[in-house]
Homo-oligomer: A and B are copies of this chain.
Amino acid sequence: MQQIELRKDILSANEDLGHENKMLFARKGIFVLNLMSSPGAGKTTLLERTIELLKDTFRIGVIEGDIATSYDAERISAHGIEVTQINTGGACHLDSSMIRKVLANFDLDHLDMLIIENVGNLVCPAEFFLGEDAKAVILSVTEGEDKPLKYPLIFRLATALIINKVDLLPYVNCSVPRIVRDVIGINPSLAIFETSCTSRQGLDSWKAWLEGKIHKKKETRLNT
């Protein structure tokens, strides 16, 4: 019981600070995306393609979450984007206080979108609200069609699902229609994209969805 209570306290404290982050982003009119997936589903590569597609139109910042190394931040930095690496040192997810601490690294008055790449993990990051407007989860077709039902929480809480690496479909045993059917059962309002960063399939739809979100966030910016 003591464990359960403490866990509730941790999640509740995280939620409170997440809402403080969210209010700050609302005042600045910044659209914030929490990008999550298993290790190796293609978060950083999709992020690089997304930056290439949007950086001439919007001012983008990136927070990279990893247990160790700064490889991902180096990849993003090469695109001329403001990026901060958080190394969790072992922790399996980012939390709202980690985000809070690094926000001073960004010029929030001149940012349209902040993308937070979470630690590669299909379980724990889903539970920790960071202050984002939307959670996007990437599922690679190489992971198999059974993942939505086996890891339901992250798919239930997501606003967008990116079914990635579809160029590999001829070589793996994975039914995209079954993924779509199962996730719609869990989360009927999910926006679903089928993408490949190799063939560039689906990237235009993904770009258009983000543009809509960024514009809407600007329009509803709080003047407080």
Interface residues, chain A, CB within 8 Å of chain B? 2-3, 6, 10, 38-41, 66-69, 71, 90, 92, 119-124, 140, 142-144, 146-147, 149-153, 165, 167-168, 171-172
Contact = CB atoms under 8 A, between A and B. Distances in A.
Copy tally for this chain in the complex stands at 2
B120 A150 contact: yes
A23 to B, nearest CB: 25
Nearest to A90: B153
Nearest to A146: B71
Given A69-B149, A150-B66, A40 B121 contact: no
A20 to B, nearest CB: 20
Contacts of A71: 146, 149-150
A92 B92 CA distance: 10
A39 B71 CA distance: 22
Counting from the closest, the 8 A-B pairs by CB-CB distance are A40-B143, A142-B142, A92-B123, A38-B39, A38-B38, A40-B144, A39-B122, A92-B124
Contacts of A123: 67, 92, 119, 121, 124
Contact of A140 (B142, B152, B167): B142
Given A38-B120, A68-B151, A71-B146, 16 more contacts: A3-B6, A38-B39, A39-B122, A39-B143, A39-B150, A40-B140, A40-B142, A67-B151, A67-B152, A67-B153, A68-B150, A69-B146, A69-B150, A90-B153, A121-B121, A121-B123
A153 B210 CA distance: 35
Contacts of A142: 40, 140, 142, 165, 168
A122 B123 CA distance: 10
A175 B219 CA distance: 46
A64 to B, nearest CB: 11
A88 to B, nearest CB: 9
A67 B3 CA distance: 19
Contact of A10 (B3, B38, B66, B152): B3
27 contacts: A3-B6, A39-B122, A39-B143, A39-B150, A40-B142, A40-B147, A66-B150, A67-B123, A67-B152, A67-B153, A68-B150, A68-B152, A69-B149, A71-B149, A90-B153, A92-B121, A92-B123, A119-B123, A120-B122, A120-B150, A120-B151, A121-B122, A123-B124, A140-B142, A142-B142, A142-B168, A168-B172
